Structure 1
Protein backbone atom coordinates (compact mmCIF):
# COMPACT_ATOMS: atom_id res chain seq x y z
CA UNK A 1 0.00 0.00 0.00
CA UNK A 2 1.22 3.45 -0.80
CA UNK A 3 -0.05 6.64 0.75
CA UNK A 4 -1.51 9.19 -1.60
CA UNK A 5 -1.07 12.93 -1.17
CA UNK A 6 -3.94 15.06 -2.37
CA UNK A 7 -3.20 18.56 -3.65
CA UNK A 8 -5.93 21.08 -2.93
CA UNK A 9 -5.85 24.47 -4.54
CA UNK A 10 -6.79 27.54 -2.48
CA UNK A 11 -8.37 29.00 -5.60
CA UNK A 12 -11.15 26.43 -5.45
CA UNK A 13 -12.22 27.75 -2.07
CA UNK A 14 -12.32 31.45 -2.99
CA UNK A 15 -15.07 33.12 -4.88
CA UNK A 16 -12.80 35.48 -6.81
CA UNK A 17 -10.47 33.71 -9.17
CA UNK A 18 -8.44 36.77 -10.04
CA UNK A 19 -5.95 36.50 -7.15
CA UNK A 20 -2.84 34.79 -8.59
CA UNK A 21 -0.85 34.93 -5.34
CA UNK A 22 -2.45 31.83 -3.85
CA UNK A 23 -0.29 28.75 -3.37
CA UNK A 24 -1.20 25.08 -3.53
CA UNK A 25 -1.26 23.26 -0.22
CA UNK A 26 -0.77 19.54 0.37
CA UNK A 27 -3.00 17.50 2.62
CA UNK A 28 -1.03 15.18 4.86
CA UNK A 29 -3.85 12.73 5.61
CA UNK A 30 -3.45 9.47 3.63
CA UNK A 31 -6.47 8.16 1.76
CA UNK A 32 -5.86 4.54 2.79
CA UNK A 33 -5.65 3.50 6.43
CA UNK A 34 -2.33 1.96 7.43
CA UNK A 35 -2.27 -0.29 10.53
CA UNK A 36 -0.19 0.87 13.48
CA UNK A 37 3.39 -0.38 13.48
CA UNK A 38 3.48 -0.95 9.71
CA UNK A 39 5.54 1.31 7.53
CA UNK A 40 5.01 1.70 3.83
CA UNK A 41 7.60 0.81 1.25
CA UNK A 42 10.35 -1.77 1.65
CA UNK A 43 10.39 -1.66 5.47
CA UNK A 44 7.36 -3.97 5.77
CA UNK A 45 8.43 -7.35 7.16
CA UNK A 46 7.82 -10.37 4.95
CA UNK A 47 5.67 -12.18 7.51
CA UNK A 48 3.12 -9.34 7.31
CA UNK A 49 2.12 -10.47 3.80
CA UNK A 50 1.77 -14.13 4.86
CA UNK A 51 -0.42 -13.66 7.97
CA UNK A 52 -3.78 -14.02 6.22
CA UNK A 53 -2.85 -17.13 4.18
CA UNK A 54 -1.37 -18.82 7.26
CA UNK A 55 -4.48 -17.91 9.25
CA UNK A 56 -6.65 -19.47 6.52
CA UNK A 57 -4.51 -22.64 6.61
CA UNK A 58 -4.78 -22.87 10.41
CA UNK A 59 -8.55 -22.33 10.45
CA UNK A 60 -8.96 -24.85 7.63
CA UNK A 61 -6.86 -27.44 9.45
CA UNK A 62 -8.84 -27.04 12.66
CA UNK A 63 -12.20 -27.26 10.88
CA UNK A 64 -11.06 -30.23 8.78
CA UNK A 65 -9.85 -32.06 11.90
CA UNK A 66 -13.09 -31.28 13.73
CA UNK A 67 -15.11 -32.53 10.75
CA UNK A 68 -13.09 -35.74 10.67
CA UNK A 69 -13.65 -36.31 14.38
CA UNK A 70 -17.39 -35.60 14.14
CA UNK A 71 -17.74 -37.90 11.13
CA UNK A 72 -15.93 -40.71 12.95
CA UNK A 73 -18.19 -40.23 15.98
CA UNK A 74 -21.30 -40.38 13.79
CA UNK A 75 -20.29 -43.45 11.76
CA UNK A 76 -19.09 -45.40 14.81
CA UNK A 77 -22.30 -44.38 16.63
CA UNK A 78 -20.35 -43.56 19.78
CA UNK A 79 -21.93 -40.16 20.38
CA UNK A 80 -25.18 -38.47 19.50
CA UNK A 81 -23.87 -36.41 16.55
CA UNK A 82 -26.24 -34.92 13.93
CA UNK A 83 -25.95 -36.44 10.45
CA UNK A 84 -24.61 -33.48 8.42
CA UNK A 85 -22.44 -31.83 11.05
CA UNK A 86 -19.28 -33.81 10.22
CA UNK A 87 -19.45 -33.43 6.41
CA UNK A 88 -20.20 -29.70 6.70
CA UNK A 89 -17.11 -29.10 8.86
CA UNK A 90 -15.05 -31.32 6.53
CA UNK A 91 -16.04 -29.38 3.41
CA UNK A 92 -15.67 -25.90 4.93
CA UNK A 93 -12.34 -26.85 6.48
CA UNK A 94 -11.07 -28.27 3.21
CA UNK A 95 -12.15 -25.09 1.41
CA UNK A 96 -10.20 -22.88 3.86
CA UNK A 97 -7.19 -25.21 3.76
CA UNK A 98 -6.95 -25.30 -0.04
CA UNK A 99 -7.52 -21.54 -0.31
CA UNK A 100 -4.68 -20.85 2.12
CA UNK A 101 -2.35 -23.32 0.43
CA UNK A 102 -2.96 -21.72 -2.97
CA UNK A 103 -2.68 -18.20 -1.52
CA UNK A 104 0.90 -18.69 -0.24
CA UNK A 105 2.57 -19.12 -3.69
CA UNK A 106 0.51 -16.22 -5.05
CA UNK A 107 1.83 -13.90 -2.33
CA UNK A 108 5.36 -15.23 -2.83
CA UNK A 109 5.19 -14.58 -6.58
CA UNK A 110 3.82 -11.06 -5.98
CA UNK A 111 6.68 -10.26 -3.60
CA UNK A 112 9.26 -11.60 -6.06
CA UNK A 113 7.74 -9.54 -8.86
CA UNK A 114 7.77 -6.43 -6.68
CA UNK A 115 11.43 -7.05 -5.76
CA UNK A 116 12.43 -7.56 -9.40
CA UNK A 117 10.71 -4.45 -10.71
CA UNK A 118 12.12 -2.05 -8.13
CA UNK A 119 15.72 -1.01 -7.79
CA UNK A 120 16.58 1.85 -5.43
CA UNK A 121 12.98 3.05 -5.46
CA UNK A 122 12.84 3.39 -9.25
CA UNK A 123 10.68 1.09 -11.33
CA UNK A 124 12.42 -0.88 -14.05
CA UNK A 125 10.92 -1.30 -17.48
CA UNK A 126 10.62 -4.98 -18.30
CA UNK A 127 10.95 -5.74 -22.01
CA UNK A 128 10.02 -9.11 -23.43
CA UNK A 129 12.37 -10.50 -26.03
CA UNK A 130 10.77 -12.29 -28.97
Structure 2
Protein backbone atom coordinates (compact mmCIF):
# COMPACT_ATOMS: atom_id res chain seq x y z
CA UNK A 1 0.00 0.00 0.00
CA UNK A 2 1.42 3.35 -1.04
CA UNK A 3 1.23 6.20 1.46
CA UNK A 4 1.37 9.77 0.25
CA UNK A 5 1.86 12.89 2.35
CA UNK A 6 -1.33 14.51 1.07
CA UNK A 7 -4.37 15.12 3.19
CA UNK A 8 -7.91 14.64 2.02
CA UNK A 9 -9.09 17.91 3.54
CA UNK A 10 -9.82 20.66 1.02
CA UNK A 11 -8.82 23.55 3.30
CA UNK A 12 -6.04 23.41 5.91
CA UNK A 13 -6.28 27.07 6.89
CA UNK A 14 -7.58 26.17 10.37
CA UNK A 15 -10.48 28.61 10.11
CA UNK A 16 -13.97 27.40 10.92
CA UNK A 17 -15.60 30.29 9.09
CA UNK A 18 -15.41 30.62 5.32
CA UNK A 19 -13.45 33.48 3.83
CA UNK A 20 -15.91 36.24 2.82
CA UNK A 21 -13.58 37.26 -0.03
CA UNK A 22 -13.69 33.81 -1.65
CA UNK A 23 -16.86 34.62 -3.61
CA UNK A 24 -18.53 31.26 -3.04
CA UNK A 25 -22.24 30.98 -2.36
CA UNK A 26 -21.57 29.48 1.07
CA UNK A 27 -19.52 32.49 2.20
CA UNK A 28 -22.43 34.84 2.70
CA UNK A 29 -22.55 37.60 5.27
CA UNK A 30 -24.49 35.34 7.64
CA UNK A 31 -22.08 32.40 7.48
CA UNK A 32 -20.24 33.41 10.66
CA UNK A 33 -23.49 33.44 12.66
CA UNK A 34 -24.13 29.70 12.50
CA UNK A 35 -22.86 28.96 16.01
CA UNK A 36 -25.01 31.49 17.91
CA UNK A 37 -28.03 30.51 15.84
CA UNK A 38 -27.51 26.85 16.77
CA UNK A 39 -27.11 27.84 20.44
CA UNK A 40 -30.36 29.83 20.34
CA UNK A 41 -32.30 27.03 18.63
CA UNK A 42 -31.08 24.43 21.12
CA UNK A 43 -31.84 26.77 24.02
CA UNK A 44 -35.34 27.46 22.78
CA UNK A 45 -35.98 23.73 22.39
CA UNK A 46 -34.77 23.10 25.93
CA UNK A 47 -36.90 25.95 27.28
CA UNK A 48 -39.91 24.55 25.42
CA UNK A 49 -39.32 21.13 27.00
CA UNK A 50 -39.17 22.77 30.43
CA UNK A 51 -42.40 24.63 29.79
CA UNK A 52 -44.06 21.47 28.53
CA UNK A 53 -42.94 19.58 31.64
CA UNK A 54 -44.41 22.35 33.80
CA UNK A 55 -47.73 22.11 31.96
CA UNK A 56 -47.85 18.31 32.10
CA UNK A 57 -46.94 18.26 35.79
CA UNK A 58 -49.51 20.89 36.72
CA UNK A 59 -52.28 19.07 34.84
CA UNK A 60 -51.40 15.79 36.55
CA UNK A 61 -50.42 13.89 33.40
CA UNK A 62 -46.88 13.13 34.52
CA UNK A 63 -45.07 12.84 37.82
CA UNK A 64 -42.02 14.77 36.60
CA UNK A 65 -40.18 16.66 39.27
CA UNK A 66 -40.73 20.39 39.30
CA UNK A 67 -36.98 20.92 39.71
CA UNK A 68 -36.29 19.12 36.40
CA UNK A 69 -38.77 21.35 34.60
CA UNK A 70 -37.36 24.50 36.14
CA UNK A 71 -33.78 23.44 35.36
CA UNK A 72 -34.65 22.79 31.69
CA UNK A 73 -36.47 26.10 31.45
CA UNK A 74 -33.72 28.17 33.07
CA UNK A 75 -30.85 26.52 31.17
CA UNK A 76 -32.75 26.89 27.90
CA UNK A 77 -33.41 30.57 28.50
CA UNK A 78 -29.76 31.06 29.45
CA UNK A 79 -28.65 29.61 26.10
CA UNK A 80 -31.12 31.82 24.21
CA UNK A 81 -29.80 34.94 25.93
CA UNK A 82 -26.20 33.84 25.35
CA UNK A 83 -26.90 33.49 21.62
CA UNK A 84 -28.61 36.88 21.50
CA UNK A 85 -25.60 38.52 23.15
CA UNK A 86 -23.11 36.62 20.95
CA UNK A 87 -24.53 37.94 17.65
CA UNK A 88 -23.69 41.66 18.18
CA UNK A 89 -20.24 40.68 19.45
CA UNK A 90 -19.54 38.74 16.24
CA UNK A 91 -20.90 41.57 14.09
CA UNK A 92 -18.62 44.07 15.82
CA UNK A 93 -15.68 41.70 15.39
CA UNK A 94 -16.39 41.40 11.65
CA UNK A 95 -16.75 45.18 11.33
CA UNK A 96 -13.41 45.78 13.05
CA UNK A 97 -11.74 43.11 10.93
CA UNK A 98 -13.04 44.71 7.71
CA UNK A 99 -11.95 48.14 8.93
CA UNK A 100 -8.44 46.95 9.79
CA UNK A 101 -8.05 45.17 6.44
CA UNK A 102 -9.24 48.24 4.54
CA UNK A 103 -6.96 50.70 6.34
TM-score, scaled to structure 2: 0.72
Matched-pair contact (CA < 8 Å) for 2:18–2:31: no
- 1:33 aligned to 2:14? yes
Pick closer, same or farther for the CA change 1:39–1:49 going to 2, 3 Å: closer
Q: 2 CA distance for matches of 1:39 and 1:51? A: 11
Pick closer, same or farther for the CA change 1:34–1:113 going to 2, 3 Å: closer
Larger relative strand fraction: 1
List gaps (5 residues or longer) in structure 2.
1-11
Moved runs in structure 1, 4+ residues, more than 2 A? 32-35, 38-48
Q: 1 CA distance for matches of 2:33 and 2:93? A: 11
User: Over residues 38-91 of structure 1, what are the superposed CA-to-partner deviations in whole Å (9 max), with x where a residue is unaligned?
Assistant: 654633432321000000010011001110010111122222222321101001
Rg: which structure is higher?
1
Partner of 1:63: 46
Partner of 1:27: none
Choose between structure 1 and 2 for higher RCO, CA contacts under 8 A separated by at least 6 residues.
2
Partner of 1:106: 89
**Alignment coverage as a number of residue pairs:** 88
Query: RMSD over aligned Cα, in angstroms?
Result: 2.1
Larger relative helix fraction: 2
List gaps (5 residues or longer) in structure 1.
1-29, 125-130
